[in-house]
Amino acid sequence: MTGRGVPSVTLKAGREKSLAQRHPWIFSGAIERVDGEPSSGDTVAVRTHDGAVVATAAYSPSSQIRARAWAFAPAAIDAAWFAQRVRAAVDARAGMLDADHTACRLVHGESDGLPGVIADRYGDTVVVQLLSAGADRWRDAIADALVAATGATTVVERSDAEVRQLEGLPPRNEVLRGALAGSVPIREDGIAYRVDVMAGQKTGFYLDQRTSRHRVRRLAHGRSVLNAFCYTGGFTLAAIAGGARDTVSIDSSADALALARSNLAANRELASRGASWREADVFAELRRLRDEGRSFGLAILDPPKFAPTAAHAARAARAYKDINLLALKLLEPGGLLATFSCSGGVSADLFQKIVAGAALDAKVDAAIVGRFSASSDHPVALAFPEGDYLKGLLVRRSV
């Protein structure tokens, strides 16, 4: 298990503190010595300077995060270990799925004790992202564990996220188990969507916004709704189901918009309302809407990650401020803005300051009347605050 011959990583004196706090990342700068020549993804024993084994981790020679802990103790990492961890994560979501809710996140990486492993359930299909060397190494065990824990008929790998480059891993998209026939049907909040699990963004659908879409649905009644960065229409369909008067939805992706339109058409009880879809850059289109003299009772801003890390925060702040300023100006008196940031590099505090600055420059009086975070199937381990990436504010413009 951790005897002689097993590769090991020995930490510099005093650098075991974050592991003691159950944070799973071991940075290259904390390592004094590597013994046994581990290759990418190999299991290593992590030792303190005094030689005590304090964790069992996956080694990643090309990443600054040189190892990620599977366990904070000596442990045998094998297929049975993955079966147990995956089952625990799946069991924690018991009760989240029913006939009207057939999609949720099953494994949320570090916060489910499985660093680098993401798994999303879309009906009978599970889509995995393997984002670290260790996760990549255990692909087969993870796929088998997901089938065993869920009874899924199909497992698809969507490992094309950029972060794999940092781990020295090539992109990989393929069907790992079963067969895939086109897009996958799901229901969220009783609304039907199709998910392009092979070519859509991330694993195909932004499950982290599930509860936010539900809240928007309840806010939309009688309002003209603007949905900027609409992707495949999630917030738009939720708003229409909630009784929106009409909707304008913007995205730069023609593929996403095509799927959004067909999602709306497939929900026949929703299809009759006025829905306009615009393939455009949001920054330019918000200005065009302003110039057209449009106004809205509810606006949603759910942009992509402008700041992956804190190093990008300044540029991201300008982008967030720009779209929030424009959206606040487009609000009717008493109108609502649901505004989000999924940037790990922008804290909730900073995001609130940016929105406050936008309101000031827009000369709009507004108040926060609610807050959003990721759905409960995206837990944030208390020891892993980096997992808390998604934040949102519900802002009401004064009458």
Chain positions contacting ligand SAH, by CB under 6 A = 201, 206, 209, 229, 231-232, 234-235, 250-253, 256, 281-283, 302-304
Alpha-carbon Rg for the chain, nearest whole angstrom, is 23
Residue placing its CB nearer to ligand SAH in the complex, 234 or 297: 234
Structure token pair of residue 227: 């949905």
Phi/psi of residue 333, nearest 5 degrees: -55, 135
Angstrom distances, CA of residue 312 to CA of 186, 283, 305, 308: 35, 19, 10, 7
Active-site option among 342, 346, 358, 366 = 342
What are the distances in angstroms from CA 132 to CA 94, 116, 140, 170, 218? 27, 5, 15, 11, 39
Determine the residue with CB nearest ligand SAH: 234
Query: Least distance to ligand SAH from the beta carbon of 227, Å?
Result: 7
- Other Cβ atoms within 10 Å of 192 Cβ, number: 17
The residue (of 33 and 287) whose beta carbon lies closer to ligand SAH is 287
| Residue linked to tokens 């065009």 | 288
Helices (H), ranges, 267-399: 282-291, 313-330, 348-362
Annotation marks residue 104 as catalytic: no
Bridge partner list, 105: 120
**Residue with smaller CB distance to ligand SAH, 282 or 362:** 282
Residue 325 in contact with residue 358, Cβ under 8 Å?
A: yes
Phi/psi at 87 (5° precision) = -65, -40
Smaller CB separation from ligand SAH, 234 or 379? 234
Cβ proximity to ligand SAH, 253 vs 295, nearer residue: 253
Q: How far is the CB of 79 from ligand SAH (least distance, A)?
A: 34
C-alpha neighbours within 13 Å on the C-beta side of residue 130: 24
Query: What is the DSSP secondary structure assignment for residue 98, as one 8-state letter?
Result: B
Active site residues: 342
